[in-house]
Amino acid sequence: MKETYELTPIALRDARDFVDQHHRHNSAPQGHKFSIGLTLDGNLVGVVIVGRPIARRQDDGHTAEVTRCCVIEGNPNANSILYGAAWRAARAMGYKRIITYTLPTESGASLRAAGFQKVGMTEAKPAGWSVPSRPREKADKYPEGQKVIWEIKRRE
């Protein structure tokens, strides 16, 4: 009998631990609105963490952001399942739009499969988040440079 994926609630602490252990190029975000786990045969194989948009211009009260989606290699379609679940949960909470970002080197196939559309690129900015008025240390695991912006919106 073939095992199937199962969505499961997951605490932020557990989702963060999973991301820190398994994500290729990002560390876990600090907070969330909600997180969803994905299990296969009772073992956690992926998580999605959804929070407020990082970019303040996107934070309109009706937009959520997938801040991390992380799946252990060798679990086909798991990313798409998690992106789709994140959108359904956000929509059920009243959000009208959900966004996320990928590296330009990532195909975005799992996002397209979940119904997301590529809507542009972030602006080219100096590396890092540090500014004179708010200096910050460089993060260990955070890719710099432009990102691809993806979204899915509620149909009006």
Mean confidence (pLDDT) of the chain: 89
Query: In which domain, by residue range, is 138 found?
Result: 5-153
In which band, very low, low, confident or very high, does the pLDDT at 35 lie, cut at 50, 70 and 90?
Answer: very high
Residue 26: what pLDDT? 76
Residue 155: what pLDDT? 81
Residue 139: what pLDDT? 55
The pair of three-digit structure tokens given for residue 94, joined into one six-digit string: 């009243």
Alpha carbons 83 and 47: distance in angstroms, whole number: 10
User: Among the ranges 25-39, 66-80, 113-127, which has the highest mean pLDDT value?
Assistant: 66-80
Residue 126: what pLDDT? 56
Q: Is the pTM of this model over 0.85?
A: yes
The pair of three-digit structure tokens given for residue 42, joined into one six-digit string: 């009772």
> 117-139: per-residue pLDDT in tens?
999 998 876 566 567 777 766 55
Number of domains into which the chain is organized: 1
Percentage of the residues of the chain whose pLDDT score is greater than 70: 88
**CB under 8 Å to 66, separation ≥6 — which residues?**
48, 49, 50, 83, 86, 98, 99, 100
SS3 state of residue 129: coil
CATH of the domain at 57: 3.40.630.30
Residue 115 pLDDT > 90, yes or no? yes
Question: Helix (H) and strand (E) counts for the chain?
Answer: 3, 7
